[in-house]
Structure 1
Amino acid sequence: MNIIKTIAYICAFMFSTATYSQTTLRVATWLPPTSGQNDVVWPTWGKWVEEATEGRVKIELEYGSGHPKSMFSLVEDGVADVSFGVNGYLPGRFKLPAVVEIPGVTADPEALSVALWRVYKQHFEAAHEFDGLKVLGMFVHGPGQLFTTFEVNDLSDLHNKKIRTGGGVVNDLATRLGVVPVFAPVTKVYEMMQQGVIDGVFLPAQELKYSRLNEVVSDVTLFPSGMYTTAFTIFMNPDVFEDLSEKDRNAIMSVSGEKLSALAGRAWGNSDTKGLEAAREMNVRIKELTPEDPMTQQFAEKVQGMHETWIDSVSDRPIDAQAALDDLNRAALEYQRQTTD
């Protein structure tokens, strides 16, 4: 009887251990806790993952993980399990997602994020730009707009002004607008504007709140479809992913991909509303241009040919670039119509 009880106890212990064993995914982030990514996207996705895996997989945020361009290597090297990064911070490596950064058919970040994910799966994945990473989602922030320390009534007012830019397509945009580009991370923009090092910046409206730029800018100029956007990728260490059970891998992907991409685009877009509210509280001048406004027309002329430039830039990739561009625009408009009807 004692032997039988012992065997039963061992079996129960082994079953209990297998049932309640958990994996905690370390998620590296460089943004503050109040950002939409950390306040909305990661907690929501974490809840989805936990529910989909029946509690076997959880996430844990690790703040202050470094410069956003280092997130890719952190995950590839196994220092972190999951993160997200700005593709443009690694020029030459991730050229394909930049198609969504060019001013296009809509400024809706959720629609563009979903369209980017679909185009990635249909056109870009086979090009292997993301080898060494398990891609979980792709998204864009809200439309990049113009924040300045002076009033802008004509695009010629920007000529030779020192404007902070990031990476990717926005650098081409800066050249076309005749500004003097100043490269710096978002975390340095407040100080640079406060000290007069730069005259303005291209950023989504959310940064008026989250980077407190409402305290150092006098003017915000909003273009109807935005001036540009930025492509982000959410990714995981492939070895960590493969170490999970097939059941849990499938569960994680069921709440990632298009679903995660839409969540991220929507969350970052919603943050723009809060940014504009913060600007109004500080009596920042906000100029909302219409499609008929002369500056809108000037801008459209300035950005002509940017899509062709992107097509030329990816000629070394095994894709049909024009088809990818067409599918991106079509998918974005279709998704936007579906969500607004």
Structure 2
Amino acid sequence: MAHADNWTAYTYSSVSTTAAVQGMNRIAESVREETDGDLSMRLHLGKTLHIASSDITQAVGDGIVDFAADLFFAGNVPIGRILSLPMLIENDNDWEAAYAVVQPYLEDGFAQQGVHYLGNYRYPQQVIFTNFEINSLDDLENHRIRVTSPEQGAFVEAFGGSPITLSGTEVPTALERGVIDGVLTASAGGAKNWHEFLPYNYRLPVNYGYSVIIANQDAYDAQSPQTQSALQRIVAEEGHSITDAFVIDEQTQKSAQMEAGMTVVDVTPEEIARARDALSPFWQEWAEREGPEYQRVLEEVLTAIDR
């Protein structure tokens, strides 16, 4: 394991200019400054270490890296997937209330992996981008939509579409060849790179994606209480800053895509309610399949967001 006072840090993102990576770099700088160098970190971008995106939490638990941002943690701590169920969380207020419920379960889930949960940042809402005209949910029928999770796949299937799972690097070619007809992503996410293939955007808020910020438990425990406190505070502050930066970039990219000719259709409250009603049975099925704890947490979340 790397020396506790000189941490190896890792992020799944391979692009240094994203808000997420810039925030991780600010965390490293602030920690070094506030601890007078007692704790320093060197951030490695995605794919620069031999760690698969799905293995980041395990790598932190094993001490291969000491500190990381992990977007693909659900295989290790699946309770966190509750916050990404389709049509469950529709706005900031819902998110804050639901997250307050789920946070202790996240902390426990990571602790079981030898990992200390520090915080998170959230991506913009995932909406629908297509190469066909879309004005309602009915237009998804018989179309193939790229998704990034089984939960997103359930949404697509609920309206007669076929979910397709592809890596981000495969998406442009798949759109060009007609393998897929659209994607679930954000204006500041995949659409930033793929907008030329996606002339239509339907602004239905399907779900949120979020990344956790975590540390190896032994490495964290080796720090002084003052350093631990500083790290917790800095991560909390930067988590909010990264989330806010994504919100700003979402509006910037959406406007730029409209100016470039993208047709953007705002969704009606009636259509949101229709989507919610269609997916709410799936929430219960999902929780029942996962087990009693998931059912209990889902009920707590539903109560918190007044559903």
**Is the pair's TM-score, using the shorter chain for normalization, greater than 0.5?**
yes
How many Å apart are 1:207 and its aligned residue?
Answer: 2.1
Cα distance per residue 1:58-84 (max 9 Å; x no partner): 332212335432322332333322222
Structure 1 298/254 Cα, relative in aligned 2: closer, same or farther at 3 Å?
closer
* Mapping of residues 102-113 of structure 1, within 5 Å: 102=85, 103-104=87-88, 106-108=90-92
Partner-residue secondary structure (3-state), 1:106: coil
Which residue number in structure 2 is paired with residue 215 of structure 1?
196
1:30/1:318 CA distance change after superposition, 3 Å = closer
Change (3 A) 1:297 1:216: same
Matched, 1:267 2:245: yes
Given the alignment of the two structures, is residue 83 of structure 1 paired with residue 73 of structure 2, yes or no?
A: no
Q: Deviations over 1:228-272 (max 9, x none)?
A: 12243221122222233333223212323x444433432333331
Q: Are 2:285 and 1:285 aligned?
A: no
Go from structure 1 to structure 2 and tell me whether the alpha carbon gap of 1:46 and 1:124 turns closer, same or farther (over 3 Å shift). closer
Correspondence for 1:304 = 280
1:95 aligned partner, one-letter code:
P
Once the two structures are TM-superposed, the CA of residue 33 in structure 1 deviates from its matched residue by 1.3
Matched residue type, 2:56: M
**Offset of residue 187 of structure 1:** 3.0
Greater mean alpha carbon deviation, residues 247-256 or residues 22-31: 22-31
Q: Tell me, yes or no, if the aligned pair for 1:127 and 1:318 is still in contact at 8 Å.
A: no
Distance between the aligned counterparts of 1:76 and 1:122, measured in 2? 18
Whether the aligned pair in 1 keeps the contact of 2:89 and 2:207 (CA below 8 Å) is no
Q: For residue 223 of structure 2, what is the amino acid of its counterpart?
A: L
Q: Which residue of 2 aligns with 1:193?
A: 175
Residue 121 (structure 1) shift: 3.9
* Greater displacement, 319-328 / 68-77: 319-328
Give the counterpart of 2:18 among 14, 29, 35: 35
TM-score normalised to structure 1 length: 0.76
Cα offset, 1:161, TM superposition: 1.1
Q: Does 1:245 align with 2:224?
A: yes
CA shift digits 1:285-328 (9 cap, x unpaired): 11112314xx4344233223233234324434388325530465
Aligned length: 299
In the TM superposition, residue 148 of structure 1 has moved relative to its aligned partner by 0.4
Return the alpha-carbon distance in structure 1 between the equivalents of residues 46 and 104 of structure 2. Answer: 34
User: Within 2, Cα distance between the matches of 1:319 and 1:260?
Assistant: 32
Q: How does 1:169-188 map to 2 (within 5 A)?
A: 169-188=151-170
Q: Contact 1:71–1:85 (CA<8 Å) still a contact in 2?
A: yes
Q: Alpha-carbon deviation of 1:22?
A: 5.8
- Distance in 1 (CA, whole Å) between partners of 2:141 and 2:299 is 35
Q: Quick one: structure 1 residues 167 and 153, their matched pair in 2 at CA, closer, same or farther if it must change by over 3 Å? A: same
Return 5+ residue gaps in structure 2 as ranges.
Answer: none
Separation in structure 2 between the aligned mates of residue 153 and residue 35 of structure 1, nearest angstrom: 31
Q: 1:53 aligned to 2:32?
A: no
The answer to whether the 8 Å contact 1:124/1:319 transfers is: no
Task: Report the AA paired with residue 37 of structure 1.
Answer: A
Letter in 2 for 1:284: M
Compute the displacement of 1:179 (Å).
1.4
Query: What's the offset of the Cα at 1:114?
Result: 4.6
Equivalent residue letter for 1:329? I
Q: TM-score, normalised by structure 2?
A: 0.83
In 2, Cα distance between equivalents of 1:310 and 1:51: 45
Q: For residues 30-54 of structure 1, what are the alpha-carbon distances to aligned partners after superposition, in whole Å with 9 as ceiling and x for unaligned? A: 3311222013x21332343234323
Identity %: 17
Retained in 1: the 8 A contact 2:168–2:190?
Answer: no
